[in-house]
Amino acid sequence: MRDRDSYRFPFAAYPAVRIMLLMGFGISIPHLLSLSFNTVLVLLAIVTAGWLLFEFILKKKFIIISSQFATIFYSLLVVTASMALASLQNEKNSIQIKNSEPIQFYEWEDLRIKGEIIESGKSTSGRDLFTMKVHETLLPKELTWKGEYKIRLYADSTSSDGLFVDDEAEMEISIYEFPEQRNPAGFDYGEWLHSQGISAHGELKEVIDLQQGGWLSFGKWRGHILQNIDQLFEPEKASLAKALLLGYKDDLTPKAKKEFARAGLSHIMAVSGLHVGFIVAPLWLAIPFLWGSKRGKWLGLIVLTLFLFLYAGITGFSPSVSRASLMAWLLTYGRLFHKVRNSINLTAVAAVILLLMDPNQLFDAGFQLSFGAVFIILLIMPEAQRFIPQKHQFRWTGGLISIILVSFVVQLGLFPILAAYFGEFSIVGPVSNALVIPLLTIVVPVGLVVIVSYSLLPEIFALTAIPLEFVLGWIEGVATITGGNSFSFISVGEVSITVFLIWLFAILTISTLRIPKLRWKIAICLLLAVNLLLTEQVIKESEPKKLRITSLDVGQGDAIHIETPNDKHLLVDAGRWSPGGNSGEEVILPYLKEKGIHRLDGVLLSHPHADHIGGMVEIIENVEVDTIYQTSIGYESQLFARYMEKAKQESIPIKNPVAGDIIEIDPSLRIFVIGPTTGSGTSNINNHSLAFKLVYGNTSALFSGDAEKQQETQLASVYGDFLESDLYKVGHHASNTSSTASFMEFVEPEITVASLGFENRFRHPGTETVVRLHKYSNEQNYTSLSGAIMYESDGKVFRKVKWRQ
Instruction: Give domain status of residue 560, yes or no.
Output: yes
Residues 188 and 248 in one domain: no
Q: How far is CA 44 from CA 18, 38, 50, 223, in A?
A: 19, 10, 10, 46
- What counts of helices (H) and strands (E) characterise the chain? 29, 27
Pair 474, 522 in one domain: no
Whether the per-residue pLDDT at 1 is higher than 60: the answer is: no
Predicted confidence (pLDDT) at residue 225 exceeds the cutoff of 80:
yes
How many Å apart are CA 578 and CA 145, to the nearest integer? 39
Task: For residues 462 and 520, state if they share a domain.
Answer: no
| Beta pairing, strands 670-675 & 662-663 | antiparallel
DSSP 403-457: HHHHHHHHHHHTHHHHHHHHSEEESSHHHHHHHHHHHHHHHHHHHHHHHHHTTTS
Please tell me the distance from the alpha carbon of residue 430 to that of residue 425, in angstroms, as a whole number.
Answer: 12
| 198 bridge partner residues | 150
Shared-domain flag, residues 94 and 113: no
Closest CA to 788 of 603, 561, 597: 561
| Average pLDDT rounded to a whole number, residues 12-41 | 87
Kindly report the number of other CB atoms within 10 A of residue 770's CB atom.
Answer: 17
Return the number of other C-beta atoms located less than 10 Å from residue 208's C-beta.
Answer: 12
Alpha helices in 337-428 (DSSP H): 343-357, 365-384, 396-413, 415-422
Of the spans 154-163, 277-286, 768-777, which averages the highest pLDDT? 768-777
Strands 624-625 and 599-600, by their bridges, are parallel
Burial environment of residue 730 by CB neighbours within 10 A (0 to 12, 13 to 18, 19 or more): buried
Going by the DSSP 8-state scheme, the letter that residue 766 receives in this structure is: P
Query: How many independent structural domains does the chain possess?
Result: 5
Beta strands 602-605; 624-625: pairing state: unpaired
Maximal C-alpha separation, the chain = 100
Average pLDDT over residues 207-214: 84
Residue 477 placed within a domain: yes
pLDDT digits (tens, 9 = 90+) for 175-197: 998 888 899 877 788 888 888 88
pLDDT at residue 2, rounded to an integer: 44
Contact in structure between 368 and 272 (CB atoms under 8 Å): no
DSSP conformational letter for 359? G
Domain closes at, from 517, 542, 567: 542
Please name the residues in contact with 493: beta carbons below 8 A apart, sequence gap of 6 or more: 423, 595, 596, 597
Q: Is 122 left (phi over 0), alpha (psi -120 to 50) or beta?
A: beta
Using CA atoms of 271, 277, 278, 283 in order, give the dihedral in degrees to the nearest 10. Answer: 140
Looking at residue 331, what is its pLDDT?
76
| pLDDT on residue 394 | 67
Q: Assess if residue 220 is contained within a domain.
A: no
Q: pTM of the full predicted structure?
A: 0.77
560 and 432 belong to one structural domain: no
Q: Is 578 helix (H, G, I), strand (E, B) or coil?
A: strand
pLDDT tens-digit map of 197-209: 898 999 999 999 9
- Whether residue 413 lies inside any domain: the answer is yes
- 3 state DSSP class of 11: helix
Q: Which of 521, 542, 563 is the last residue of a domain?
A: 542
Taking the C-alpha atoms of residue 265 and residue 267, their distance in angstroms, rounded to an integer, is 5
CATH number (domain holding residue 107): 2.40.50.140
Residue 37 lies in a domain: yes
Range 423-437 average pLDDT? 81
Q: What is the CATH number of the domain that holds 561?
A: 3.60.15.10
567 and 689, same domain (yes or no): yes
Residue 583 has pLDDT above 50, yes or no: yes
Provide long-range contacts, Cβ within 8 A and 24+ apart, for 675-680: 675/704, 675/707, 675/711, 675/714, 675/715, 676/631, 676/633, 676/711, 677/714, 677/718, 680/710, 680/711, 680/714
**Is residue 805 assigned to a domain?**
no
Whether residues 691 and 723 share a domain: the answer is: yes
Q: Torsion over CA of 352, 357, 360 and 362, rounded to 10 degrees?
A: -20
Buried b / exposed e over 54-72, threshold 16 CB at 10 Å, is bbeebeeeeeeebeebbee
Q: Is there a single domain that holds both residue 365 and residue 270? A: yes
- pLDDT tier, 288 (very low <50, low <70, confident <90, very high otherwise): low
Q: Evaluate whether residue 310 is within a structural domain.
A: yes
Provide the pLDDT for residue 7: 46
**pLDDT number for residue 680:** 59
Q: Specify whether 486 is located in the same domain as 520.
A: no
Does the pLDDT at position 704 exceed 90? yes
Same domain? 554 vs 536: no
Residue 778 and residue 751 in contact, taking contact as beta carbons nearer than 8 Å = yes
pLDDT for residue 219 is more than 90: no
> Which band of pLDDT confidence, cut at 50, 70 and 90, is reported for residue 120?
confident
Q: Per-residue b/e over 337-359, b at no fewer than 16 CB within 10 Å? A: eeeeebebbbbbbbbbebbeeeb
Do 394 and 364 lie in one domain? The reply is yes
Class of residue 639 by CB neighbours under 10 A (exposed 0-12, middle 13-18, buried 19+): middle
Where does 606-740 show beta strands of DSSP type E?
A: 624-625, 628-630, 654-655, 662-663, 670-675, 691-696, 699-703, 727-729
Q: Which residues constitute the domain of residue 86?
A: 8-98
Looking at the structure, do residues 93 and 124 belong to the same domain, yes or no?
no
pLDDT number for residue 292? 64
